[in-house]
Structure 1
């Protein structure tokens, strides 16, 4: 089955095409360059697909085109008696066609022009590619609403989306970032609120992971940007979408000086090129707070600067000048600042620090005995609203600001998650949205004075989505390889018979202290309804569901725990008679893509299909591209000998087996992903096809999306098409019958 090697200019022979188009095994179709060898602390590691790291080369483009042709032909030749992609698109589109509304947030201040105090919220009428920013003057149901900014007008194909956004303190101006084709890079624009007029002279470029922090005089804002890329003689950028992102700096932009070249550099530190800055103007407008990070670890330095003349370099004062804990600003009363921190508190707590004597730290909300503190909102002058997570289910509680005295719980309708919490200290009303696996969501506003809760918007889903009582949602616990008990959410129809023959979608993440909590998803319910499936989501170590200790034991030399937890989850689903390997598929994206690829390398026999999406798959070189160096806190770095020793043991690219039967694999990525750059997926797919493909009985493929990035801001049309392709692949490989 393995053909002789071809030059890159002849990537696929006609014989290869005939073979692929008849039985769909993936085979060696990419040229290998075995001369590329790196020395890692005395260990030689070859990198035969180094050429796929250049996204602009003709060689790479030809390879992508060839791979997409293979997958497109695969879709055309699927068994239509089992599943029809066009019908999936039609039905999934119909199921997604309902109004979706986010939690509103108030902007403008009562001590300014009242005409500019308004409530804003994002709404999608049903099938809009991007959600639209709407505006109302009050929270009353009969108050007139109007479109404030429609991102769907920013591009013809819906691939431009909103990034960072911020209203001026007086509510007169709106600064917003625009991302193109899914890129993390943004261009900041400005518009007037009163007449929605675009201030077209204000265009700020080279922004990525930026903050926008207005000074309270509303004359301008602080923001961050990277250096302008160099250009050649014809004006073309010499920078690459895979280059490292370094030397971010803090600038101040004046409304009176629209040209970006006139922006004032107010803070930078060239001695630390990998540092990145989060900016926030204190609630009283007197200070700029600078949070400095060098990784995704839950640690940061915390500096502040009094704001007098924002056009001058800042007098930066170092409040916390090490990376030993995380400090998140909540609010302040004069020079008494309140922070959420994990300093000596793995589940987090709230403290106060007077700037006049930073050593006088006072605990306001001590660490909870079991439940992680997720975030805190100051409101109603003297209250704190705290969101805790109890056994991966959210709880909202209200406390006094000064002494942390408990006041009350805010009741929630069922087991689920709180999202979009908003409110300011000057407000009396808290706004938030609640949803769960089968509950599409209701947006509430809660009055702290009356302790009364009202509905702002209740989501009414498509009639094609069954009611919540048609599904069973439960949380079970299973044992991982080292004896650790791990929770797993399981969702299925109430009439599902646990006979070991049900299709199961096993989804996981397990990293970066990120929680996997109950959330409403049309695609998950689609799988349950249309294929009689079961959705299962374990809360793997590496996540933040149980605080920093849970996270820590899924990082660095402990990363194998995450894979063991996922393997044990699959074994649990089999042992409890939910399914069998031939009917189970494993899926995850980004860090979850790493999870999927590592697990099928280690236990390919547990699954019938696998879909790793936009995954981090080359663990020896991830830190060399864009923002990858930020992930070394979770993964380690191959530049260090000790880290290399554990990275090489699980790196998906370097552990593909040639003597094992892999499940059917569909690797997915996007051509404009400048976070987890697509070269990870390219190289892994090529290695999988070369090493496992010749003897594998099932297809090993890759799908490369165009005009898309890591996932944020992806147009709904592309979301539906990618979901349809995935379901078609999975159903065809697992022999699932489409039920309607």
Structure 2
């Protein structure tokens, strides 16, 4: 960081901001401003029978008892967190595998979150648990107030089904906590001044022993103030117990250290590669080409090497996956003896099982994966078993959960794949079809997109069409089963489109990196190209073409509004970034500078300003109607982005509606009822503007 005495010479100028006062999240004046806009939106969109009917339909889907209760194995039990009309905050429950196979399993309640919230007078939102393995008798329960990222963490006894009296408990913070042993935690949390990074995440890791005060926990590792975060974890695999610390320097770079003989030894990997361990293996995901001297491994590859050999200097890695121009790695899931690798081939999921046998890796494709759809695979218990869960879906086929197993030795071909659960159809899909098309972006790049709509669609430009996009952080958008989209949009004969623009992960790191920082406009050009292609093909026309996106996708929406207002009939902009001059000073924004750049640097603000929607509103232009939504409890993307954009558009008398849910965090809603209301607002707005 530059010295304070030089700041005036090195910091980019800050444009005047008459609405910066709206950044005070819970100020009385600010919340009054919010309530006035909420009332306007409610009157315009929600005060009618059609809205109430749609909201009820959406809530019935969210609360449906026919949904698949997804489970995770802890000890002998299979656990599920469930929300419905009777349990709006949710219940954490468990059953046996034998019982789970039944159409109506008998569940044992472990934690009733509604009862807990009522008893403690808190609006608890479930964030999950961290289990002490391989004992599986204790866990850390993570609870959020109103859906914020910050959590309260408490130790829980799974046998007694009770919080541990005098056990580990952390106050509300954006903590990183892991078990070291049954009586010790590795803790990163807010210990006071200097303990958190500028991104708002832990900067230090401390060892906290049972029976001692949290404030007395011993410091064992610390990062820099401008790092994103640090964390520590213990590998619990019997015979391979190891302790690691990770310094996440930016969103895309990190250093990893192993505790060896009381000393931290750096794992000598590329700083932009992600590393993990499974038994004897070190697994590396490359984001850039890696030249080891003897060999160059390509960006996007998944590598495996014996961990001890790697620490001793060996760099002769096994390539588990190597990308091609249209294939990419999505994820991998180790089982006891195998590794399940999920990839994309032209944005279509593929899954392979890999096994190390007699000095070489054997591989077999996993069957049952839809051609146009999604497939998610996970280990049931990677410490003891080669069983796996496979969840599949497509835009017109609801989710199916299957249980399969891989043999401990020999060719890794799945055996005995058993369908456990299938979700029902929540909307009428007869007469609908899924198609994949390509648009040509401004620089000639081919950009794929999925179109879901009527098989006998009239190509006359009259069909209301919703185009959805994200384009950031190497996250791919895949065509899954969207029950609410089907019920609220597709059943009406409308079209839904998913754009696979650059910045996402559809084609690996290169596809993402093509839209980083000064190249961010490539993502926007791609999205525009898809919109133009839909008009060219006469699927729709600008007055009937709506767009929607959230978070980084909200930044996309803001740019679409100011760059091509003539191409859209309506815009839904959710939990967005919009002020790119101040984003890095607001909540977790500093952690995203690796994606967007640092606006304090004059040379970077020069290009960032070009994609800062708040600074590119043109008073002389006509803009399509826009609905901007956010959450007061969003402690990741500051609600000030949405507030200030709405205020500026209002000042210029542009057509804008703004709604801020008081709860909900970055997800926008704290429970199903809130989500149904927020979703119904968006769909009602689009139906009104695109008809």
- TM-score for both structures, normalised by structure 1: 0.82
Which residue is 2:79 aligned to? 120
The Cα of 1:68 is off from its aligned counterpart by 1.8
Which residue is 2:187 aligned to? 223
Give 2:268's match in structure 1, choosing from 320, 324, 345.
320
Which residue is 1:84 aligned to? 50
Which residue is 2:463 aligned to? 502
Q: Which structure would you say has the larger RCO, counting Cα contacts within 8 Å and 6 or more residues apart?
A: 1
Give 1:161's match in structure 2, choosing from 104, 108, 125.
125
The Cα of 1:702 is off from its aligned counterpart by 0.7
Higher alpha-carbon deviation: 288-297 or 385-394:
288-297
Against the structure 1 CA distance between its residues 404 and 185, is the aligned structure 2 distance closer, same or farther, given a 3 Å change threshold? farther
Which residue is 1:455 aligned to? 419
In structure 2, how many angstroms separate the alpha carbons of the residues matched to 1:521 and 1:714?
Answer: 20
Which residue is 2:449 aligned to? 488
Q: CA RMSD in A?
A: 2.9
Give 1:389's match in structure 2, choosing from 323, 337, 344.
344
The Cα of 1:420 is off from its aligned counterpart by 5.8
The Cα of 1:708 is off from its aligned counterpart by 1.9
Give 1:281's match in structure 2, choosing from 209, 212, 235.
235
Give 1:675's match in structure 2, choosing from 607, 621, 636.
636
| Structure 2: runs of 5 or more not aligned | 1-7, 290-297, 408-413
Question: Contact 2:232–2:243 at 8 Å: present in 1 too?
Answer: no
In structure 2, how many angstroms separate the alpha carbons of the residues matched to 1:85 and 1:454?
Answer: 41
Q: Does 1:727 align with 2:651?
A: no
Which residue is 1:69 aligned to? 39
Pairs within 5 Å for 1:161-560: 161-169=125-133, 170-202=135-167, 204-205=169-170, 210-215=175-180, 217-228=181-192, 244-245=199-200, 247-254=202-209, 256-257=210-211, 259-269=213-223, 274-277=228-231, 279-284=233-238, 286-297=241-252, 299-306=253-260, 315-320=263-268, 323=271, 325-333=272-280, 337-342=282-287, 344=289, 345-355=298-308, 358=311, 359-364=313-318, 365-369=320-324, 370-381=326-337, 383-401=338-356, 403=359, 405-414=361-370, 415-419=372-376, 421-423=378-380, 424-449=382-407, 451-462=415-426, 465-467=427-429, 469-560=430-521
Against the structure 1 CA distance between its residues 244 and 387, is the aligned structure 2 distance closer, same or farther, given a 3 Å change threshold? closer
Against the structure 1 CA distance between its residues 42 and 491, is the aligned structure 2 distance closer, same or farther, given a 3 Å change threshold? closer
Higher alpha-carbon deviation: 403-412 or 187-196:
403-412
Q: Secondary structure at the match of 2:572?
A: strand
In structure 2, how many angstroms separate the alpha carbons of the residues matched to 1:685 and 1:326?
Answer: 39
Question: Contact 1:203–1:259 at 8 Å: present in 2 too?
Answer: no
Q: Secondary structure at the match of 1:64?
A: helix
Against the structure 1 CA distance between its residues 343 and 149, is the aligned structure 2 distance closer, same or farther, given a 3 Å change threshold? farther
In structure 2, how many angstroms separate the alpha carbons of the residues matched to 1:418 and 1:257?
Answer: 45
In structure 2, how many angstroms separate the alpha carbons of the residues matched to 1:123 and 1:368?
Answer: 38
| Structure 1: runs of 5 or more not aligned | 1-37, 109-116, 231-238, 309-313
Question: Contact 2:321–2:329 at 8 Å: present in 1 too?
Answer: no
Against the structure 1 CA distance between its residues 293 and 47, is the aligned structure 2 distance closer, same or farther, given a 3 Å change threshold? same
In structure 1, how many angstroms separate the alpha carbons of the residues matched to 2:9 and 2:547?
Answer: 34
Which residue is 2:72 aligned to? 105
Which residue is 1:18 aligned to? none
Which residue is 2:18 aligned to? 48
Question: Contact 2:189–2:201 at 8 Å: present in 1 too?
Answer: no
Q: Secondary structure at the match of 2:305?
A: strand
In structure 2, how many angstroms separate the alpha carbons of the residues matched to 1:715 and 1:685?
Answer: 26
Which residue is 1:637 aligned to? 598
Question: Contact 1:227–1:248 at 8 Å: present in 2 too?
Answer: no
Q: Does 1:706 align with 2:653?
A: no
Deviation per residue, 1:682-702 (Å, 9 max, x gap): 1111111223x1xx4xx3121
Question: Contact 1:119–1:138 at 8 Å: present in 2 too?
Answer: yes
Question: Contact 1:185–1:206 at 8 Å: present in 2 too?
Answer: no
In structure 1, how many angstroms separate the alpha carbons of the residues matched to 2:36 and 2:423?
Answer: 43
Q: Does 1:626 align with 2:587?
A: yes
Q: Secondary structure at the match of 1:93?
A: helix
In structure 2, how many angstroms separate the alpha carbons of the residues matched to 1:418 and 1:385?
Answer: 12
Which residue is 2:625 aligned to? 664
Against the structure 1 CA distance between its residues 726 and 507, is the aligned structure 2 distance closer, same or farther, given a 3 Å change threshold? same
Against the structure 1 CA distance between its residues 439 and 258, is the aligned structure 2 distance closer, same or farther, given a 3 Å change threshold? farther
Against the structure 1 CA distance between its residues 521 and 357, is the aligned structure 2 distance closer, same or farther, given a 3 Å change threshold? closer
The Cα of 1:145 is off from its aligned counterpart by 3.6
- TM-score for both structures, normalised by structure 2: 0.88
Question: Contact 1:330–1:377 at 8 Å: present in 2 too?
Answer: no
Deviation per residue, 1:72-111 (Å, 9 max, x gap): 232367xx6xx72112112223344243235433233xxx
Q: Secondary structure at the match of 1:669?
A: strand
The Cα of 1:270 is off from its aligned counterpart by 5.1
Question: Contact 2:669–2:678 at 8 Å: present in 1 too?
Answer: no
Which residue is 2:292 aligned to? none
Question: Contact 1:187–1:203 at 8 Å: present in 2 too?
Answer: no
Against the structure 1 CA distance between its residues 272 and 586, is the aligned structure 2 distance closer, same or farther, given a 3 Å change threshold? closer
Question: Contact 2:223–2:230 at 8 Å: present in 1 too?
Answer: no
In structure 1, how many angstroms separate the alpha carbons of the residues matched to 2:152 and 2:613?
Answer: 35
In structure 1, how many angstroms separate the alpha carbons of the residues matched to 2:309 and 2:578?
Answer: 48
Question: Contact 1:384–1:401 at 8 Å: present in 2 too?
Answer: no
Question: Contact 1:103–1:432 at 8 Å: present in 2 too?
Answer: no
In structure 1, how many angstroms separate the alpha carbons of the residues matched to 2:148 and 2:678?
Answer: 18
Against the structure 1 CA distance between its residues 404 and 580, is the aligned structure 2 distance closer, same or farther, given a 3 Å change threshold? farther
The Cα of 1:167 is off from its aligned counterpart by 1.4
In structure 2, how many angstroms separate the alpha carbons of the residues matched to 1:590 and 1:319?
Answer: 33
Against the structure 1 CA distance between its residues 219 and 552, is the aligned structure 2 distance closer, same or farther, given a 3 Å change threshold? same
